[in-house]
Structure 1
Amino acid sequence: MDQTEQGTPPPPTFFDQVGGEPTFRRLVHDFYQGVAADPLLRPMYPEQDLGPAEERLALFLMQYWGGPRTYSDERGHPRLRMRHAPFTVDQAAHDAWLRHMRAAVDNLDLAPELHRQLWDYLVYAAMSMINTPG
């Protein structure tokens, strides 16, 4: 474990506090279960198999919250808005995305403070992806 200059271990990351990789993989898997049956969101994923999209989101979220840097090592800078630019992301898509993510987050049964921190970020991220009025 890394040590600070004072010799004490660094505080645990959010990634560690919520249970690490298994928690993020469960979150993303539950989310994509909803996306798979959503007539608005499913067409945004051109791949027949949602597995690659699930892997990308899991790796991104793990890295964002203090886990391994695998996402950047494999894909470079996240560039989220650029990667979503080819798709119409309007208020309806935003709302559908958050509906499925809300169910997935709620399934994690996190401590209230951790739940709120994760949810606040996801709401912010969803809003920042909107690229089409209406």
Structure 2
Amino acid sequence: MRDGENGAGVEETFFDQIGGHDTFRRLVDTFYRGVAADPVLKPMYPEDDLGPAAERLTLFLEQYWGGPGTYSEHRGHPRLRMRHQPFKVNPDARDRWLTHMRSAVDALELPPLQAETLWAYLERAAFAMVNTFEE
């Protein structure tokens, strides 16, 4: 793709490839339906309504994958580890998070390469958030 007839090349982002905002919204909505019923994860969310957390995750993922920079405009640098430090993220919490996220990724029915690209990032991120091995 080019920006105009003689313009520089324009690369389609992963955000665009998988369907943009609507796809990330579906991913996050499906994920948080699982979290809402999870006795370990749900208490980690300070708001009774998971809506604000879902909005933050949607904006973060959209920005990370090449969509609008709205997350940083509103919240600054992501600082994922710092933002998760107040919560006990042990291997059990990580695995529960991954279980709900795996279901959400699968529900998108993305082409295999895109599903694996998304999943690989989410899995790395989840492992990086572990901040304790205490039960």
Alignment TM class, shorter chain as reference: over 0.9
Q: Does 1:16 align with 2:25?
A: no
* Matched residue, 2:97: 97
User: Deviation of residue 85 (structure 1)?
Assistant: 0.2
* Matched residue, 2:133: 133
What letter is aligned with 2:47? Answer: E
Point out 4+ residue stretches in structure 1 off by more than 4 angstroms: none
RMSD, aligned CA: 1.6
CA distance in 1, matches of 2:133, 2:48: 28
SS at the partner of 2:49?
Answer: coil
SS at the partner of 1:39?
Answer: coil
**Counterparts of residues 60-75 of structure 1 (less than 5 Å):** 60-75=60-75
Identity %: 63
User: Deviation of residue 104 (structure 1)?
Assistant: 0.2
CA distance in 2, matches of 1:123, 1:69: 23
Deviation digits for residues 23-60 of structure 1 (CA, Å, limit 9, x no counterpart): 00000000000000000000000101000000000000
SS at the partner of 2:10?
Answer: coil
What letter is aligned with 1:15? Answer: F
TM-score (norm 2): 0.94
CA distance in 2, matches of 1:12, 1:133: 40
CA distance in 2, matches of 1:32, 1:96: 12
User: Deviation of residue 18 (structure 1)?
Assistant: 0.1
CA distance in 2, matches of 1:15, 1:100: 21
Deviation digits for residues 55-107 of structure 1 (CA, Å, limit 9, x no counterpart): 00000000000000000000000000000000000000000000000000000
Aligned pair count reads: 133
CA distance in 2, matches of 1:117, 1:95: 19
What letter is aligned with 1:52? Answer: P
User: Deviation of residue 10 (structure 1)?
Assistant: 1.1
